[in-house]
Amino acid sequence: MTFPENSVLVLLETSPSGTIAKSADGLLGAAAKVGTPVALVVTSPGKAAKAAAVAGSLGAVYVLTVESLDVETSLTTPVVDALVAAAKQVRPVAVLAAHSLDSREVAARFAIRTGLGLALDAIDVDKDAEGIFARHSVYGGAYNVDSATTVGAPVITVRQGAIDAQAEARRPAVTPLEVTPSGKPSATITGYEEAIVETARPELRGASKVVSGGRGLGSKEGFALVDDLADALGAAIGASRAAVDAGYVAQRHQVGQTGVSVSPQLYVALGISGAIQHRAGMMTSKTIVAINKDADAPIFDVADFAVVGDLFTVVPQLIDALGARKK
């Protein structure tokens, strides 16, 4: 099998049940923008065909599939071995992977093993006469930086939810890929538990609207106000680190430097003071609304619409008013 000269090799992440991760849309969209998307899917036996079809529907022109029992028990290494084998066949102009924990570690080991340069946490991918380069947003969105690598194809990890571009659906050419295991030592997976999705609310990462709550909610019970407004707006739920530390809400909802970075159309901050660590994770939101009883809260410096007032009167009134307007 020969691949086009402008092939971009895209590692698609799959869950243990074989489902393709949401990051696939943006990765294939970005790949189509700068070349021909060639997807690699690595699954446990019997799950590759379905994953390959999904990859095609998201824009993969070619799909290389690897089915391996090792992925169930061996952390990272089987996927790195598959990516090495795929790159050898495809000779891509760039390799793209999600910046999730699993995929970025595959990309990192792959870059070391192949001697290629690594560009991390890109928010966009583009090309010029010199080749493909990555765009990054650093220090909480205060700076934009373009980077390239010095030797061969760049290996680029892409921030989840950062790229909106979507590729046209394809009927892909699917080829099983032979992989010679490297025999590199790896950690053993002894158990897996899929996260339970509690509600029909959108997932925080990549959500178009986010309602976040902070210490100002006062208690776990008070945090229900965030849920109510999120449901009224069809938004995902976020939180400041203070609210997470206080036990109001699970850690996976944390927005900020050490949590999830979001850039939704609408970000509503309830009772969040807006420490720089929090702002770093939401400053690229299109519209920011903040309600806080402290008129000097730093969150107001970045808010497009700021309300100084009591959450527990303003938010119920807001929910009522939104409900009334819908009728």
Partner 1 sequence: MRIVVLVKEVPDTYGDRKLDLETGLAERTASEPVMDEIGERALEAAISHADANPGTEVVVLTVGPETAQKALHKGLSMGAMAAVHVLDAGLQGADVTLTAEVLAAAVRRTGFDLVIAGNTSTDGSGGVVPAMLAELLDVPHATGLTRIGITADAVNGTRAVDGGTFEVSTSLPAVASITEALPDGRLPNFKGIMAAKKKPLETMTLADLGIDAEDMSVGRSIMLTIYEKRAREAGKKIIDEGNAGEQLAKFLVDNKLA
Q: Which residues pair with 105 in a beta bridge?
A: none
Q: In the complex with partner 1, which residue's Cβ is closer, 33 or 135?
A: 135
Q: In the complex with partner 1, which residue's Cβ is closer, 73 or 166?
A: 73
Enter the DSSP assignment of 255: B
The CA distance from 168 to 207, in Å, is 22
Residues in the chain: 327
Q: In the complex with partner 1, which residue's Cβ is closer, 14 or 61?
A: 14
Q: Are 218 and 206 in contact (CB under 8 A)?
A: no
- Give me the least distance between CB of 257 and partner 1, in Å please: 5
- With b for 16 or more beta-carbon neighbours within 10 A and e for fewer, the 168-197 pattern comes to eebebebeebebeeeeeebeeeeeeeeeee
**CA nearest 280: which of 299, 307, 296?**
299
The CA distance from 150 to 221, in Å, is 54
- Give me the least distance between CB of 33 and partner 1, in Å please: 18
Q: In the complex with partner 1, which residue's Cβ is closer, 54 or 174?
A: 54
Q: Are 259 and 282 in contact (CB under 8 A)?
A: no
Q: In the complex with partner 1, which residue's Cβ is closer, 61 or 249?
A: 249
**CA nearest 202: which of 247, 278, 266?**
266
Q: In the complex with partner 1, which residue's Cβ is closer, 102 or 227?
A: 102
